[in-house]
Amino acid sequence: MKISFLGAAGEVTGSQHLIETDSRRILLDCGLFQGHREESYLKNSQFAYPPESLDAVFLSHGHMDHCGNIPQLYNKGFRGPVFCTSSTADIAEIMLKDSARIQEEDARYLARKLTEKHPPIEPLYSEDDVNEVAKLFERLDYHEWHELGDDLKVRFLDAGHILGSAIIEMKIKDQREWRHIVFTGDLGRRDLPLLRDPEPIEGCEVLISESTYGNRVHEKASDMKEELFQILDEAYRVEGRVIIPAFSLGRTQQIIYYLNDLYNEKRLPYIPIFVDSPLSTRLVSVFRHHIHDMDDEVKNVIESDKDPFGFSLLNYVSSREESIALNKRKGAFVVIAGSGMCENGRVRHHLKNGIEQLETTIVLMGYQAAYTLGRRLINRDPKVKIFDRYYEVKAKVVQLSGLSGHADVEDFMWWYEESAKQGNIGQVFLVHGEPESSKALSALIRDQCDLEPVIPHYQQSFEI
């Protein structure tokens, strides 16, 4: 058996791992590489194997760095099944259609900017490609072993990262011998709102494990609700606006859930709350539909509150005109809009109109990458550029990081210890992490594994 690491090896983007046996060629994830434009286009437009030769893709979850290049795979000839959970299938279809739209808009914009001699920039795929890919999704339930042939069995366990995320456990026959492989996808944390905790495995021969925060301890998610209350209470008193740039998938729904909790507890100040993101609104519909995939706390809530993503002070903004009207609104209100690092989307318009007001509070959720507007705000730059002009930062800037969906040092240690109690863990490959994080996790888990963990390089292959 051969395993090739074709993305998210030594970095945290473009998840893609190829498993080859004497009778099967299987891909774990097919994510978009996200980085500098030219490098991204080169990596995303080429595959290290003929796509039509793949028997199947197994998709861990619906984030773009894990599912975002499946339509390009289809474009190049892949026609096999894409196995995933039902929630992931619905989320991925929405995310991929949004990605196709953004690529087409970017291509039109660049076509106006490039010289005549420059070759045209083409989108990696279209919405038509996404529609065809959606037909390939095959939905598998959690926990049940699914027989996918006389040489392949698969089971999904809960990864606890986002709605529908799965640990992929696979038993595959190679040279008449059964091999036991597990891929964590993105491993989540315990006690996150909405999500069930990640589930330990019962040992395995080969483990492909993410390592994003193998050297970090997160703040506790349980503190987030109280911090949101304090921010909204102050905004109510000073009649200021609260701007929350938030990722459309996962983070926005968790914030709404906490605000709904405060409303049910009769603690939420009387402040109108606007979700100004069409993508977030579409994804909320998926969360409502798959509420049975959420944790026991949510199931308890819906016994008395049928919709934990809706209450009288919450408004979902759909039209551009409604969004523009918010910028002229007076008094206290909250607007939640994409994107999480303030680089795109409607949130930039809200920041432009509120950043020079002392009464405004900007609430940044989680990690802000270098060179983004979010990072400049965290760094307390006195002036920041939004669109084509500079604005003085007079607003209060707050960073809340308790909702990170990735396992930290404590979660990894718990998960590996619990898994090792149930069975031996053989060879571990650490992916989806910067080198420092992967090395730190390797040292942390060494005693739980039979062999020294390996940190593969991009396009490196191993015979098992």
The per-residue pLDDT for 109 is 72
Do 127 and 158 touch, CB atoms closer than 8 A? Answer: no
- Beta-carbon count within 10 A of 381 CB: 14
The per-residue pLDDT for 120 is 64
The per-residue pLDDT for 368 is 80
Domain boundary among 378, 400, 422: 400
337 with 350, same domain: the answer is yes
Rg (CA), the chain: 22
Mind giving me the DSSP string for 283-294?
HHHHHHHTGGGS
What is the Cα–Cα distance from 90 to 402, expressed in whole angstroms? 26
- Beta strands 333-337; 241-245: pairing state: parallel
* CATH number, domain with residue 305: 3.40.50.10890
86 with 119, same domain: the answer is yes
Residue 329 sits in which domain range? 221-400
Q: Is the pLDDT of residue 219 over 90?
A: no
Q: Is the pLDDT of residue 292 over 70?
A: yes
The per-residue pLDDT for 338 is 85
For 405, the token pair is 């969906």
What is the Cα–Cα distance from 309 to 70, expressed in whole angstroms? 30
The per-residue pLDDT for 194 is 96
The per-residue pLDDT for 343 is 85
Residue in 429, 428, 378, 437 with CA at minimum distance from that of residue 407:
437
The per-residue pLDDT for 34 is 82
Grouping H, G, I as helix, E, B as strand and the rest as coil, residue 428 is strand
309 with 434, same domain: the answer is no
Do 59 and 83 touch, CB atoms closer than 8 A? Answer: yes
* CATH number, domain with residue 67: 3.60.15.10
What is the Cα–Cα distance from 320 to 443, expressed in whole angstroms? 51
133-137, 219-223, 330-334, 399-403: segment of lowest average pLDDT: 219-223
- Beta-carbon count within 10 A of 227 CB: 15
355 with 412, same domain: the answer is no
109-123, 272-286, 438-452: segment of lowest average pLDDT: 109-123
229 with 268, same domain: the answer is yes
The per-residue pLDDT for 82 is 98
The per-residue pLDDT for 223 is 84
Average pLDDT over residues 302-318: 96
The per-residue pLDDT for 344 is 83
Read off the pLDDT of residues 138-177 as tens digits, 9 standing for 90 and up.
999 999 999 999 999 999 999 999 999 999 999 999 999 9
Alpha-carbon distances of 138 from 51, 59, 144, 188, 257, rounded to whole Å = 18, 10, 14, 23, 29
- Taken in order 364, 358, 335, 234, the sign of the CA dihedral is positive
The per-residue pLDDT for 462 is 98
Domain boundary among 372, 400, 428: 400
150 with 276, same domain: the answer is no
Read off the pLDDT of residues 106-117 as tens digits, 9 standing for 90 and up.
878 777 766 666
Tokens 């996808």 correspond to what residue? 185
What is the Cα–Cα distance from 39 to 451, expressed in whole angstroms? 34
Answer with the residue of higher pLDDT: 441 or 42: 441
293 with 383, same domain: the answer is yes
For 8, the token pair is 């998210």
Q: Is the pLDDT of residue 367 over 80?
A: no
For 316, the token pair is 């979902």
Domain boundary among 382, 400, 418: 400
Mean pLDDT of the chain: 94
186 with 65, same domain: the answer is yes
Helices (H), 35-114: 37-45, 64-67, 70-75, 86-113
Read off the pLDDT of residues 373-382 as tens digits, 9 standing for 90 and up.
999 999 999 9
378 with 241, same domain: the answer is yes
For 56, the token pair is 């199947």
The per-residue pLDDT for 115 is 62
187 with 118, same domain: the answer is yes
Q: Is the pLDDT of residue 401 over 90?
A: no
Mind giving me the DSSP string for 112-171?
HHS-TTSPPP--S--HHHHHHHHTTEEE--BS--EE-STTEEEEEEE--SSTT-EEEEEE
103 with 67, same domain: the answer is yes
The per-residue pLDDT for 351 is 97
Do 342 and 371 touch, CB atoms closer than 8 A? Answer: no
Read off the pLDDT of residues 94-108 as tens digits, 9 standing for 90 and up.
999 999 998 888 878
Q: Is the pLDDT of residue 222 over 80?
A: no
For 255, the token pair is 């914030």
430 with 337, same domain: the answer is no
Q: Does a cis peptide bond (omega within 30 degrees of 0) precede residue 339?
A: yes
Question: What residues form DSSP beta bridges with 335?
Answer: 243, 274
- Beta-carbon count within 10 A of 372 CB: 16
The per-residue pLDDT for 80 is 98
pTM of the entire predicted model: 0.93
The strands making up 152-158's β-sheet, listed across from edge to edge, are 146-147, 152-158, 166-174, 177-183, 204-210, 425-431
What is the Cα–Cα distance from 27 to 72, expressed in whole angstroms? 14
Q: Is the pLDDT of residue 59 over 80?
A: yes
The per-residue pLDDT for 119 is 63
Number of domains into which the chain is organized: 2
The per-residue pLDDT for 117 is 62
Read off the pLDDT of residues 63-98 as tens digits, 9 standing for 90 and up.
999 999 999 999 999 999 999 999 999 999 999 999
